[in-house]
Amino acid sequence: MAYLLGIDIGTSGTKTLVCDHDGNVIATAMAEHDISSPRPGWSEQDPSQWWQATCDATLAVIDKAGIDGQSVTAVGLSGQMHGSVFVADDETPLRPALLWNDQRTGEQCAEIERKAGGRKALIEMVGNPALTGFTAPKILWVRQHEPEVYEKTKHILLPKDYIRYCMTGEYATEVGDASGTLLLDVKQRKWNDKLIGLLGIDKALLPTCYESHVVSGKLHAKAAAKLGLKQGTPVVGGSGDQPAGAVGNGIVTTGIVSATLGTSGVVFAHADEPTYDPQGRVHTMCSAVQGKWCVFGCMLSAGGSFQWFRNQLGQAEVAAAKQQGVDPYELLIAEAEKAPAGCEGLYFLPYLTGERCPHPDPNARGGWIGLTARHDRSAMIRSLIEGVTYGMADALTIMREMDIAVDTVRLSGGGAKSAFWRQLQADVYGRRVATINSDEGPAYGVAILAGVGTGVWQSVPEACNAIIRETESLTPDAERSKRYGAWHKQYQRLYGALKSEFEAIAAEGND
C-alpha cells in the first residue's frame, strides 16, 4: 500500500494525518505547543516547538496507522497563516514568531497604506487592506523595534514554510499562504515588486513561490530520520490553513461555502475570478486550486471565545466531564440549550483578541451586553454561542453583497460536532448547511494536494469530487431564522455604538 501524509501546524498544536491513495483517512495524531503573550495584544510562539511537534506527531501517526514510513509517497504542509519566522542560514529562529492574532502592528499598517497611496490603492496591488495580523506589518515592526534581529535576518518564512525548510533545506512557499503576507500580487499570483520596493524590503528575504500542488522539495536524510520517513520523499507546496481546509471540505466550486469554527472562525468561498470587497472587510487570496481564487472572512475569537469560557468559567463542566469521560463542551452546550433562543435580549461580543472581519479593529473588546437579573448561566453560554454565530454570519452577509453565490454552507470544526450548534447555524445563516464525510480540515486538504502533485489525481477538483461527500443536511427553521435575522441586526449595531469606547478602554489597558 502507498500513503499520503498531511501536516498542519496549527496555533494550539500540530496535526498529522495519513490517508491512502483512495482518500481514506487511516489515522491522525496531534502534538501540542505553547503560546506566549508577552504583553496585551501580543501573540508569539517558538518555531522550534513546531518542528519538535511535527516530528512527534508524524512518528505517532505512522505508529497509529500501523504502516511503514517508507510507504508514504508524498507530504503536504499546511499551517496557521500570516506568522513570521526570522532566520539566518540555519534552523535556529532569531526570535519567536509573531502570530496571526498578534495585534501590535497598528502603526505599521498605517505606514503601509500611506506608502501604497491609500487603502484603495493597496487593495488594487495585493487584494487586501493592511491588517495587524498580516505578515508585512510584522516585518516592519521587527525592523523598527528589533533592528539587531532584522540585520541578521536572511530569510522570512511562514509557519509551514519554516517546517518545509527543516524538512528539505528549501526556502519556499506557495500562493495561498503567500497571499496572506500582504506582499503578493494576488491577481498575478507572484510577489508584488512595486509594494516590496515601496516598503524597502529586500525581496531576497522572501522565499520562492509555487502553486499549491507543485513539489517544492524533497526530504533530506536528517529530517527523514527524525520523521520516520524515506529520504527523497516529495513535499508539495501545500497551503495556509484556510485554503488547505477548503480543499479538505471540497470548497473548490462556486456556490458551496464553508464555515469553520476553530480558535478563529472562517467563512470561505471559492471564486473563479479575483473578486474584491472595496472596504476590505473580507480577504481575497489565491486558492489552493491552480489558477483560482477565494474570498474569506476571519473572526479572531470564535471557538476561542468558547474555549475561554470553558477555561475561566466552566470549571464545573470540566470536572464533571472528567468523571463522566465526555467532552466538557458537550456539557456546556447542554446547559446552553436550556436558555431560549435570543436569550431575552442578551448579546455576547466575541472580540476577545480584537477583531478582523468585518471590523479590522485591534482595539475591539468582548463582553456581554443586556444582562438583567433574569439571566442565568445558561443564557450566558447560549448568548456566547449565538454571538460567535452572528460574527460568522457577518462574513456571509458581505459575500452576498459581493454577489458571491451562497447556496450551501458546509460546516466543520467545533461548531459542526454539536447538533444544537449545527441547527443554530442553519437558522442564523438562513441557508442549507451540511456536514461531510471527513472533518479533518487542513491536514486532509494538504494530503490531497500531495496526491495531486505526485499524480494520484489529475487535479484538485477531480480529487475532491472523487472522495468528499455530504453526510447530513439541515435547512433553517423559517420562523427562528426570521427572528435571528432581527437579532443579528441588533448585534451588528452594538459594535458601532461601542467602537470609540473600545479605543479608550484599550488605551487604558496598554498604559
Beta carbons of 96 and 44 less than 8 angstroms apart: yes
Task: Please name the residues in contact with 100: beta carbons below 8 A apart, sequence gap of 6 or more.
Answer: 11, 43, 80, 81, 82, 83, 133, 264
Beta carbons of 297 and 358 less than 8 angstroms apart: yes
> Closest by alpha carbon to 92, among 33, 30, 48, 36?
48
C-alpha cell of 289?
Answer: 486550486
167 annotated binding-site participant: no
> Closest by alpha carbon to 282, among 262, 255, 257, 308?
257
Alpha carbon 339 to chain centroid, angstroms: 30
In single-letter form, the type of residue at position 310 comes to R
> Closest by alpha carbon to 152, among 93, 196, 96, 110?
93
Continuous H helices in 314-436: 315-324, 328-336, 377-401, 419-429
Beta carbons of 463 and 451 less than 8 angstroms apart: yes
Beta carbons of 94 and 152 less than 8 angstroms apart: yes
Q: What is the bridge-based pairing of β-strands 208-210 and 172-174?
A: parallel
Question: Half-sphere exposure (CA, 13 Å, Cβ side) for 503?
Answer: 7
Chain position carrying cell 508569539? 44
Active site residue 427: no
21 annotated binding-site participant: no
Catalytic residue among 241, 277, 394, 439: 241
Rounded Cα gap, residues 350 and 364, in angstroms: 9
C-alpha triplet 354, 183, 400: angle, nearest 5° = 60
Whether the link from the prior residue into 234 is cis, omega within 30° of 0, is no
Length of the chain equals: 511
In single-letter form, the type of residue at position 333 comes to I
Which residues are catalytic, by number?
241
**Sequence ranges of the binding site:** 81-82
**Sequence ranges of the binding site for substrate:** 81-82
